[in-house]
Amino acid sequence: MRKRIISLMVCALLVFVTACGKSEREQQVETLSGEYAVSKENQLIVYTSHKEEVYLPIIREFESRTGIWVDVHAGGTAEMMQAAKDASKDGQCDIMFGGGVESYEASEDYFLPYQTAEEASLDANFIDRDYYWTPFTQLPIVFVYNRNLVNPSSAPRIWEDLFQEGWKGKIAFADMEKSGTSYTIISTMAQLFDEEPEDVLVRFYKQLDGNILSSSGDVITEVSNGNCLIGITLEETALKAIDAGSNIVMVIPNDGTSAVPDGIAMLKNAPHSYNAGKFIDFVVGHDTQSYAMTQFNRRSVRLDVKLTPKFDEITLIDFDIAKSAEDEEKVLDKWRSLMEGDDE
């Protein structure tokens, strides 16, 4: 009789959740995390800015291997970072997963230091000295150009080429307030040129000539359809587009580029901190890192994951993540003033 009562209660819960318009995934998590299903010791709350195609297979495999059920909250990088911070105040978030580590550097007061058990296998160049965040994958910045409209001999090969008069108004670049990648691009140029980022920004803004895209996801589309001739984007984005038959060619800058990793971190007041640590270890484990390379076109942060032939050799500049994080707000302020026409 007791089992039947419990079964009826679970069924009633499912009907209620469905009636509230929850997605199938949310229904599954809420049901399995109920009083008569998964104990609190087997739960994890993850806030992520990754797209579903990235986070879902990783989380499902983690659940399958560990028996830990994950409550996922997904959205844009800035949105999820702030939501994770807010939720952590009430002990309602364990993990922030996704977004460039510059944003993690700027928010380290909200994170618990965690030294992953996989550290010995990770590239030391991508490890936070204070362990507030752990790198997920390398994300090099590359150029792309339209294969039909741009002669390969005239395509940009170094960063300074972007400032040639012929490219003015023809560069695909997203609004910095909506794209973390766009800020990384400016920060990369500033460090490569040894200039103040605000000065580089002013020069580059003039080169854009008012052609500002609303999303970084539009860069490939605008170059492929010929509305822009060249663009700047992440290597993984370019490779994915090429695999899908997009009308672009990718160029790795000859004078070097940055490969700022995206990150993962444990929030203060994490209600399931032990499980959070297990998830971080899983994300940087050999299997997940190999999967990210083959399925997502992302470079691993592990030393023991060999790149497939589709990845070209790349020269990385000595990119100062801490300085980039420190400069971000003033550069964004400068960008806003330029967009408003107050500071040409």
Burial class (CB in 10 A: 0-12, 13-18, 19+), 177: middle
Residue with tokens 């940055």: 258
Looking at the DSSP bridge assignments, the partners of residue 153 are none
Q: Mind listing the pLDDT tens digit for each residue in 38-96?
A: 788 899 999 999 999 999 999 999 999 999 999 999 988 878 999 999 999 999 999 99
Give Cβ neighbours of residue 343 (< 8 Å, ≥ 6 apart). Answer: 202, 334, 337
Instruction: Indicate if the pLDDT at residue 324 is higher than 70.
Output: yes
SS3 304: coil
Total count of residues recorded for the chain: 344
Sorting pLDDT into bands at 50, 70 and 90, what band is 253? very high
- pTM metric for this prediction: 0.82
- Distances in whole angstroms, Cα of residue 71 to Cα of each of 25, 191, 237, 266, 280: 9, 39, 27, 15, 15
Q: Mind listing the pLDDT tens digit for each residue in 113-165?
A: 999 999 999 999 999 999 999 999 999 999 999 999 999 999 999 999 999 99
Strand duo 171-172 + 230-234: pairing: parallel
pLDDT of residue 16: 42
Residue with tokens 């032990």: 274
Q: Mind listing the pLDDT tens digit for each residue in 167-225?
A: 999 999 999 888 888 999 999 999 999 999 999 999 999 999 999 998 888 999 999 99
